Amino acid sequence: MAITLDQQHKESVVNREEAKRPGYREYAKQNELKPGLPFSFTGNAKEYFGIWIVNIFLSIITLGIYSAWAKVRNKRYFYGNTLLEGSSFAYLASPVQILKGRLIVVAVLGTIALLTAINPGALLLYAPLYLVLPFAIQRALRFNAIHSSYRNVRFNFTGDVGEAYWVYLFLPFLGIFTFGLIAPYINFSSQRYVVSNSKYGQAIFVFEGRALYYYITYGLAFLLGTISYIAVVSIFAFFAISLGGKGTGLPPSQDPAFWLSVSITGIIGVILALFIYSLVTVRIQNHVFNNTRIGNHQLFLDLRIWPFLWIRFSNLFLIAISFGLVIPWAKIRMARYQIERMSLIPDGDLETAVAEEQHRVGALGDEFGEGMDLDLGLGV
Amino acid sequence: MTTYFKATYFDGKSSRAHDVDVQLDHGIERLVLRGTTIGKQAYPISEVKVAARVGNTPRFLYFDDGASLETAENDAVDEIVPALRHGRFHLAQHRVESKLGWITAICLLTIAIGWGTVSYGVPFLAKQVAFALPRDVDEQLGQGTMSALDEFAFKPSTLSKSDRDRLQQYFQELLTLSDLKAGEVELLFRASPVMGANALALPSGIVVMTDELVRLAHDDEEIIAVFAHEIGHIRERHSLRGVLQNSSVALLIAGATGDIAALTSIAATLPTLMVQLKYSRSFELEADDYAVDLLKQREIEPTKLGDILLRMTEMAGGDVDPAREGAFSDYLSTHPNSVERMQRIEEREAE
């Protein structure tokens, strides 16, 4: 087990300044170099399948109660298989806390859903939920961070509720009146909120991302989206004319040619939408990680659009046709790709992080939000 | 017996890693740690918490003073679990999760339970709930549907007044044979170039018949047969039951996979859709059964229903060869295959 960086290892480690030099990234890409200490992922689909199916089985026969335990086991599998410098990550949340949070959420959402089925007016009941959401998000981020550790030093999240309301309620509200023009800024702010308020022990996360980059990415997506839309409509028109021209005389809903052209355009549309989604996700995730420092250690992430798109698309396709049986394999595959494209460029070694005085979690007594295991992390 | 394993020790105050050799003498109930950087330390077994084993992920042991051990030697750690007061359930759980036989058995059992719940459990419960609710609920459900259809799919009917009055008369007669009250169901005529020959029952108690279907029918008895089928949908409260069943299935998928996001995932769409279509098909068969009973009372040949169904399928370019094999497309259809419906109607008539 590599505990301290030995001499040979040290030579392969580029320091932070070097990695930031212009042209370094291109150089690293061409030579398939990952600067710094690589993250590795050791999970495998065969082993995970057993854990996954037993989780589902127990969740079903306990009418969902076990799903809180399942959640913890699941998360521990992915954390535990993520290794950096020979040490793994640990997830420490207690299932009982998660169960409490889940029961509240299910009770509230279930009641509203039932009322809505009877009277659509009950949809209005979702409005007060939006007022609670930023608070719940802030609690969930804290819950998740406090219950994650590496080398027995815990992470923490110190973002305040006020900023959560600004980022998750006020800005989106403002977004309605600005025709989405501030959408990139909202995305930027929420990720800055998550990252820059995180801590590892006493080491502070520093976020140096730029809103401009988000605007460029979203602009690109908007441009491609418009082109794709025009393309899809033209393809549909082409098929509709060339196939429907035979004049079956049937109403459209019963005309096979109509359904065929709908299906073909639908599939092309899904692929184009996934491409744009991949482009945005990959660019933004790379930007966030490459502009995040933990103390003086720099994170590095090098996801590529085409491999990401391929994994995403084939996963979706195979899950759909296998009725979900390949979900374990699909999840492992995606996690491996994302984690193994990541590394940490250390400043010195990783031995010096200092733990903070332990906060007693749950002392405030507000279970609401604490057990809300909303997955709002950074996707890795 | 003595258990040895190698581990990394973290004191909980910093991220500094210390290599240690761990030793447990069974019977002495003390965990002894030896390392060049930390010397020798001992913990009574009562102060040790061992994390449950999850596959072959590194195992953590936590001590009361905040320190912890991380080790890859899972099997050695499993040996010390029996000396603790906790963790035996998880030991058994890991055994189940990692044995091929167990996994296969649980996988099959899960599929069986899932299939049983979706095919029998959910429809049964939804039926109980639907019939326990007042009819107002169905009406609420269908509010606004008719006006939306009028705007997008329907045109005013071009049937003559005498035709409409005659059919309206038949419809009311049929209603008196069912246990529905006259005011609960209403018949409307519309032309629909978009839908073609079709009839539908809205949960609010409106039955719509298209001019195209009236023209397709060879005689009035066939139209009455279609009325009977649509009245069946309303009588059996299929719309409300459909809503209850479809939302339960979506919730079940989310609950079982522990993933609320599954509801919106593209991958979950196909299986959910196929289940919903299966429900839709079974409602059609139920409405057919109800229609057969009603037509017998009205002294009309129930095969009239089958005749017009087949003609509708033919009109739509469907395959009506009685010898045809079941096709995959049957599973992606809102209505059962017409040939099968015909056979079922004949069987029920013979009863």
Residue-wise pLDDT for A256-310, tens only, equals: 666 777 778 888 888 888 899 999 999 999 999 999 999 888 999 999 999 999 9
Query: Does A33 have pLDDT greater than 70?
Result: no
Q: For residue B197, what are its two tokens?
A: 């020959």
So what's the pLDDT on residue B326?
A: 53
Q: For residue A200, what are its two tokens?
A: 């590892």
So what's the pLDDT on residue B84?
A: 80
A309: which residues sit within 8 A by CB, 6+ positions away? A274, A275, A278
- What's the predicted TM-score (pTM) here? 0.79
So what's the pLDDT on residue A368?
A: 46
* Dist CA A267 CA A30 (whole Å): 34
3-state secondary structure of B18: strand
- Provide the 8-state DSSP code for A169: I
Q: Where are the alpha helices (DSSP H) in B22-160?
A: 74-80, 88-98, 100-116, 122-132, 136-142, 145-152
Under the banding of pLDDT at 50, 70 and 90, the label for residue A375 is very low
Q: What are phi and psi of A355, to 5 degrees?
A: -75, 150
* Chain B environment of A273 (Cβ under 8 Å): none
CA A121 and chain centroid, separation: 33
Please provide the DSSP assignment of A73-119 as one string.
HHHHHHHHTEEETTEEEEE---HHHHHHHHHHHHHHHHHHHHHHHH-
Instruction: Answer whether A174's CB lies under 8 Å from A182's CB.
Output: yes
| β-sheet bridge partners, residue B44 | B30
Residue type for position B351: E
Q: How far apart are the first and last CA of chain B?
A: 75
| B193 closest CB neighbour out of A51, A152, A251 | A251
| β-sheet bridge partners, residue A41 | A82
Query: Does B284 have pLDDT greater than 80?
Result: yes
Closest residue by Cα to residue B230 from B291, B275, B276, B159: B291
Closest residue by Cα to residue A66 from A74, A77, A55, A76: A55
Closest residue by Cα to residue B207 from B181, B226, B179: B226
What residue of A is the nearest CA neighbor of B141? A118
Please tell me which residue, A106 or B305, carries the higher pLDDT value: B305
Say whether residue A250 is in contact with chain B using an 8 A CB cutoff: yes
| A87 closest CB neighbour out of B17, B192, B243 | B17
Identify the residue among B9, B14, B15, B278 best suited for mutation to test binding to A, counting A beta carbons within 10 A and taking the highest: B15
Residue type for position B123: P
- The continuous run of DSSP H or E covering B190 comes out as strand B186-191
Query: Does A250 have pLDDT greater than 60?
Result: no
* Dist CA B259 CA B265 (whole Å): 10
* Dist CA B301 CA B278 (whole Å): 28
* Chain B environment of A151 (Cβ under 8 Å): 10, 15-17, 70
* Dist CA B70 CA A177 (whole Å): 53
| A57 closest CB neighbour out of B14, B98, B109 | B109
Query: Does A364 have pLDDT greater than 70?
Result: no
* Dist CA B80 CA A178 (whole Å): 62
Closest residue by Cα to residue A301 from A346, A343, A347: A343
Give the mean pLDDT of A154-181.
90
So what's the pLDDT on residue A358?
A: 52
So what's the pLDDT on residue A369?
A: 47
Pairing of strands B155-156, B199-201: unpaired
pLDDT digits (tens, 9 = 90+) for B156-208: 999 999 999 999 999 998 888 888 877 788 899 999 888 888 898 888 888 99
* Dist CA A342 CA B50 (whole Å): 30
Instruction: Answer whether A156's CB lies under 8 Å from A198's CB.
Output: yes
A363: which residues sit within 8 A by CB, 6+ positions away? none
Q: Which residues of B189-204 are buried (b: 16+ CB within 10 A; e: fewer)?
A: bbbbebbbbbbbbbbb
* Dist CA B99 CA B229 (whole Å): 52
What residue of B is the nearest CA neighbor of A68? B258
ipTM topping 0.90: no
So what's the pLDDT on residue A366?
A: 37
Identify the residue among A53, A119, A267 best suited for mutation to test binding to B, counting B beta carbons within 10 A and taking the highest: A53
Instruction: Answer whether B17's CB lies under 8 Å from A3's CB.
Output: yes
> Minimum mean pLDDT among A161-165, A307-311, B139-143, B340-344: which range?
B139-143
Count CA atoms within 13 Å of residue A176 on its CB side: 4
Average model confidence (pLDDT) for chain A? Answer: 81
Largest CA-CA distance found in chain A, in angstroms, rounded: 79
Which residues in chain A (253-272) have CB-CB distances under 8 A to chain B? 253-256, 270
So what's the pLDDT on residue A164?
A: 93
Pairing of strands B186-191, B206-210: parallel
Under the banding of pLDDT at 50, 70 and 90, the label for residue A312 is confident
Q: What are phi and psi of B268, to 5 degrees?
A: -80, -10
Under the banding of pLDDT at 50, 70 and 90, the label for residue A190 is very high
What residue of A is the nearest CA neighbor of B254? A64
So what's the pLDDT on residue A279?
A: 95
| A3 closest CB neighbour out of B8, B109, B261 | B8
Closest residue by Cα to residue A327 from B269, B324, B252, B257: B257
Say whether residue B193 is in contact with chain A using an 8 A CB cutoff: yes
pLDDT digits (tens, 9 = 90+) for A319-349: 878 877 888 999 999 999 999 999 998 887 7
Cβ separation A49–B110 shorter than 8 A: no
pLDDT digits (tens, 9 = 90+) for B264-283: 465 666 777 888 888 999 99
Instruction: Answer whether B241's CB lies under 8 Å from A53's CB.
Output: no
Instruction: Answer whether A320's CB lies under 8 Å from B271's CB.
Output: yes
Instruction: Answer whether B247's CB lies under 8 Å from B191's CB.
Output: no
| β-sheet bridge partners, residue B14 | A354
Say whether residue B68 is in contact with chain A using an 8 A CB cutoff: yes
- Cα distances (Å, whole numbers) of residue A352 to A198, A347, B48, B130: 18, 10, 26, 64
* Dist CA A204 CA B90 (whole Å): 36
User: Shortest Cα distance from B237 to chain A (angstroms)?
Assistant: 14
Instruction: Answer whether A2's CB lies under 8 Å from A85's CB.
Output: yes
Query: Does A26 have pLDDT greater than 80?
Result: no
Q: What are phi and psi of B183, to 5 degrees?
A: -75, -15
* Dist CA A123 CA A113 (whole Å): 8
* Dist CA B241 CA B253 (whole Å): 18
Instruction: Answer whether A37's CB lies under 8 Å from A44's CB.
Output: no
- Provide the 8-state DSSP code for A2: -
Instruction: Answer whether A207's CB lies under 8 Å from A176's CB.
Output: no
* Dist CA A243 CA A235 (whole Å): 12
Percent of chain A at pLDDT exceeding 90? 41
Q: What are phi and psi of B55, to 5 degrees?
A: 60, -135
Please tell me which residue, B268 or B11, carries the higher pLDDT value: B11
Q: Which residues of A120-151 are buried (b: 16+ CB within 10 A; e: fewer)?
A: eeeeeeeeeeeeebbbbbbbbbbbbbbbbbbb
What residue of A is the nearest CA neighbor of B101? A50
- The continuous run of DSSP H or E covering B209 comes out as strand B206-210
- What strands, in cross-sheet order, belong to the sheet with B68-71? B39-44, B30-35, B18-25, B2-10, B68-71, B59-63, B48-50
So what's the pLDDT on residue B324?
A: 53
| A47 closest CB neighbour out of B56, B114, B256 | B56
Give the mean pLDDT of B299-304.
88
Which residues in chain A (152-171) have CB-CB distances under 8 A to chain B? 152-153
So what's the pLDDT on residue A362?
A: 39
* Inter-chain contacts counted by CB atoms under 8 A, chains A and B: 177
- Cα distances (Å, whole numbers) of residue A113 to A109, A299, B243: 6, 42, 11
The beta-strand segments (E) located in B195-264 are: 199-201, 206-210
Instruction: Answer whether B216's CB lies under 8 Å from B150's CB.
Output: no
So what's the pLDDT on residue B70?
A: 95
Under the banding of pLDDT at 50, 70 and 90, the label for residue A30 is low
Average model confidence (pLDDT) for chain B? Answer: 85
- Cα distances (Å, whole numbers) of residue B124 to B120, B138, B265: 6, 18, 27
Please tell me which residue, A128 or B140, carries the higher pLDDT value: A128
So what's the pLDDT on residue A80?
A: 95
Instruction: Answer whether B10's CB lies under 8 Å from B26's CB.
Output: no
